[in-house]
Structure 1
């Protein structure tokens, strides 16, 4: 009895489905990507190792102090509540339409980051351009 030999088919890997899947994933990630526009506030940070510069009279600058519990004080006057609207009203009351005066933020080391960011956000919304963060000289 003579059996016919089976022919061996050439083994080949078809890459077409793999390429299709890769292109579909690429298209999916391109479509689902979100592009956000972030508004940036330019800040001039003072050097902590330099000598403190002289600040003009109290009416020539806005000094916002952030306490440890997030309470605000504008030019030495504590605010009733610690929200952005109250802070904005207090700053507008002191400055009126003047926006070219220095805006100085002094925050306690234990103050929450959110409280400081709220002050920076209010300064940006009102259009202040001379924003500074007060530091103290490091002990050497």
Structure 2
């Protein structure tokens, strides 16, 4: 009786050499630590201006924006929600008079941006936003 095992390629266990894998991972780790930049996100300290009294803008044009995105210029409603409709309404204004924007607190940001775009195209430089004083 022959109890010796014969060598067969299909019966041999697979031998994985981990040393080259560890070497490659170590080189990749060194490369990543050498090339990574660690940036600190710095907090900007912003001091907002305090309002002691409301500025009186008696000769200003008043543009009201509702929470639904509807516009009214000096008490008259503007048809349309586009920047072109706003631009046509604002063309009659004098560039010397300031534009005071009354935007509802729930007004979508896009509605205010449309007004600013139209004012920029018409080169209206004096634009203010009305706010409410907190008690």
Q: So what's the TM-score if we normalise by structure 2?
A: 0.60
Greater relative CO (CA pairs within 8 A, separation 6+)? 1
CA RMSD in angstroms comes to: 3.1
Aligned partner of 2:129 in structure 1 is 133
Gaps of 5+ in 1: 1-44
Aligned partner of 2:77 in structure 1 is 78
Aligned partner of 1:53 in structure 2 is 55
Task: Work out the number of aligned pairs and report it.
Answer: 100
The runs of at least 4 aligned residues of structure 1 exceeding 3 Å deviation read none
CA change 1:46–1:129 in 2 (3 A) is farther
Aligned partner of 1:64 in structure 2 is 63
Over residues 4-40 of structure 1, what are the superposed CA-to-partner deviations in whole Å (9 max), with x where a residue is unaligned? xxxxxxxxxxxxxxxxxxxxxxxxxxxxxxxxxxxxx
Question: Aligned-pair distance for 1:117?
Answer: 0.8
Question: Aligned-pair distance for 1:129?
Answer: 1.2
Q: So what's the TM-score if we normalise by structure 1?
A: 0.58
Question: Aligned-pair distance for 1:94?
Answer: 3.5
Gaps of 5+ in 2: 1-47
